[in-house]
Amino acid sequence: MSTSSQTDGAAEAQVAAALARCAGGDRNALRVIYDLEAGRMTGVARRLLRRQDLAEEAVQDTFMRVWRAARTFDPQKGSARTWLYAILRNSALSILRDEGRFTSDEDKQESAPMTESALALLPETSALRRCLERLDAERRAVVVLAYVHGLSHGELAGKLGVPLGTVKSWVRRSLLSLQECMG
Amino acid sequence: MSAPLTDRDDDSALAGEYELGLLEGEAKAQAERRLATDAAFVREVERWRTRFAAFDDATPPLAAPEALWRKIEGGIAGQPAAVASAPSLWSRIWGDLAVMRGAAVGASLAVLVLAIGLGAAIRAANKQPVMVAVLLDGDRAGAVVQAFADGRTVLLPLTSISVPEGKVLEVWTLPSRERGPVSVGLMERARTLTLSLKDLPAPRADQLFEITLEPAGGSPIGRPTGPVLFKGNTALAL
């Protein structure tokens, strides 16, 4: 998580402290995390799963997992919010893959406008945005659509109309460029 | 773009694909195994999480209904924090701790790192453990013992421990060499356990705690008889 602003730093500290209390069995601390993050988490899950019912299922599953695993969180290894959202992403992607292909209006959308509207979410100053914008449009699209909308290799190949092998190679090359650009 | 890929690039790209959710089948299972054993790979994945986090931070929040909280609350009712969990996720999250194995960090260093991490987390929670012991099997962490200023001493398992039929886990401490090991807790499976140290002096630095496998009902002779599963010494919580 970006912790550049004071607000982010405060949220991070609050979540980290609440997680430590969860590890000690304090249910109120889980509620603190819910109050701080469940809204954003529902937004992220809805972005991936498109359906409100599935998004809520992912958030519920995430909080159950957080409760059970709170004591395995190690503040030395990374940010508490990053840990929280990693569990959410894992949970949402399992639901997404289990549900298989369910069609929605977004499935019919072209990759270019979908990618652009996802990129537009990011602040102009974001390093991620700047580095993504340096990639060719299609190479940018594969990474953005996989992260933001949870598209699989197969779904990316379908949407972009290219062979699976091409998608895989674009993804790898894009990741390496991003890594180089973002450090 | 046409520079040859190095192993490190390969790993970083693999970690990125994992975080994107693009790995499937055996490739995904293999990445999850590496998350449990390979500290460098864990760090690569963590880097990708941090890089992509901007998308999540920028996603507009939606209302989180009170009804959803009530479902969560109902789901955790009667479930002590962190006793059991689904194996796949457990192993994934466990990776964050199990890193020490893969990194081949010496056991003493692992204890130190864990004790610092726990100390920091708990201090943040405004609880004051005076002593922390990480119980290890080699360099695998099995449980943590926390002794609080108010005299409570709690054992928290960090991994599931397989207990054969007819056996139990018994927790021991060695308050002094003269007195020998004293049983401070008994459990049928790994769970959070408040240890009974009431009749003992408060744990001091470098006091041994261990978990042994004993017959149902606990050791018949009041001394450990079974194999030692995990052991470790207390250190001052930082």
- In tens, the pLDDT along B16-54 reads 999 999 999 899 999 988 988 888 998 999 999 999 999
Residue A137: is its pLDDT beyond 80? yes
Partners of residue B97 in chain A, C-beta under 8 Å: 72, 74
The reported pLDDT for the residue numbered B102 is 39
What is the C-alpha separation between B12 and B22, in angstroms, rounded?
Answer: 14
A173 contacts A139 by C-beta, under 8 angstroms: yes
Residue B43 token pair: 């760090």
pLDDT at B121 over 60: no
What pLDDT is stored for residue A99 in this prediction? Answer: 72
- Is some CB atom of chain B closer than 8 A to the CB atom of A170? no
Chain A residues touching B116 at Cβ < 8 A: 76
Sign for the pseudo-dihedral over CA of A92, A93, A95, A99? positive
When comparing pLDDT for B91 and B176, which is higher?
Answer: B176
Q: Is B221 on the interface with A (CB under 8 A)?
A: no
User: A22: which chain B residues are within 8 Å (Cβ-Cβ)?
Assistant: 81
- The DSSP secondary-structure symbol of A125 reads T
- CB–CB of B142/B229 below 8 Å? yes
What average pLDDT does range A94-108 have in this prediction? 68
Task: Quickly list DSSP for B149-214.
Answer: TTS-EEEEESS-----TTEEEEEEEES-TTT--EEEEEESSS--EEE--TTSPPP-TT-EEEEEEE
Structure-model confidence comparison of residues B204 and B94, the more confident one: B204
More confident call, A105 vs A124: A124
Which residues in chain B touch residue A74, judged by CB atoms under 8 angstroms apart? 96-97, 114, 117, 121
Round to whole Å and give the CA distance between A67 and A85: 14
Supply the pLDDT for residue B1: 46
Of B71, B93, B113, nearest to A69 by CB-CB distance is B93
| Residues found in chain B | 238
Alpha-carbon gap: B227 to the closest alpha carbon of chain A (Å): 26
Better-predicted residue by pLDDT, B75 or A167 = A167
Terminal-to-terminal C-alpha distance of chain B: 47
pLDDT band at B90 (very low <50, low <70, confident <90, very high): very low
Q: Which of A125, A132, A176, A182 to mutate to test the interface with B (most CBs of B within 10 A)?
A: A176
CB contact set of A74 (below 8 Å; sequence gap of 6+): B96, B97, B114, B117, B121
Rounded to the nearest angstrom, the minimum Cα separation between B201 and chain A is: 24
Residues of B numbered 61-120 whose beta carbons fall under 8 angstroms of chain A's beta carbons: which are they?
61-65, 68-69, 71-73, 75-76, 79-86, 89-90, 92-94, 96-97, 99, 113-114, 116-117, 120
Whole-number pLDDT of residue B2: 47
CB of B161 within 8 A of CB of B203? no
- Could you tell me what percent of chain A has a pLDDT over 90? 72
Output b/e per residue, A42-51; b: 16+ Cβ within 10 A: bbbbbbbbbe
Q: Is the pTM of this model over 0.80?
A: no
Q: Which residues does A115 contact at the CB level (< 8 Å), separation at least 6?
A: A137, A140, A141, A144, A145
Pick the residue of B45, B93, B156 with the most A CBs within 10 A to test the interface with A by mutation: B93
Query: What mean pLDDT do residues B175-196 have?
Result: 86
Q: Which residue has the higher pLDDT, B168 or A7?
A: B168
Model confidence band, residue A84 (pLDDT cutoffs 50, 70, 90): very high
Residues 33-62 of A with CB under 8 A from B: 34, 38-44, 46-47, 55-56, 59-60
**How would you classify the pairing of strands B129-137 and B208-215?**
unpaired
Chain A residues in contact with B72 by the CB 8 A cut-off are: 30, 34, 60, 63-64
| Residue that is written with structure tokens 């054993």 in the block | B37
- The answer, yes or no, to whether residue B139 has pLDDT greater than 70, is yes
User: pLDDT-based confidence at B105, cuts 50/70/90?
Assistant: very low
Select, from the ranges A156-160, B120-124, B185-189, the one with the highest average predicted confidence (pLDDT): A156-160
Q: How many interface pairs between A and B have CB atoms less than 8 angstroms apart?
A: 219
pLDDT at A10: 80
Strand stretches in chain B, DSSP E: 129-137, 140-148, 153-157, 167-174, 182-187, 193-195, 208-215, 228-236
With CA atoms as reference, the chain A residue closest to B99 would be A77
Q: What percent of chain B has pLDDT over 70?
A: 76
Question: At B42, which helix (H) or strand (E)?
Answer: helix B39-58
Query: Average pLDDT over chain A, rounded to whole?
Result: 89
Least confidently predicted of A144-148, B101-105, B195-199: B101-105
What residue in B sits closest to A36 (Cα-Cα)? B64
Cβ neighbours of B122 in A, within 8 Å: 20, 24
What is the rounded distance in angstroms from the CA atom of residue B158 to the CA atom of residue B135? 9
Cβ atoms of B127 and A24 within 8 Å: the answer is yes
Confidence band of A107 (pLDDT split at 50, 70, 90): low
- The pLDDT value recorded for residue A11 is 83
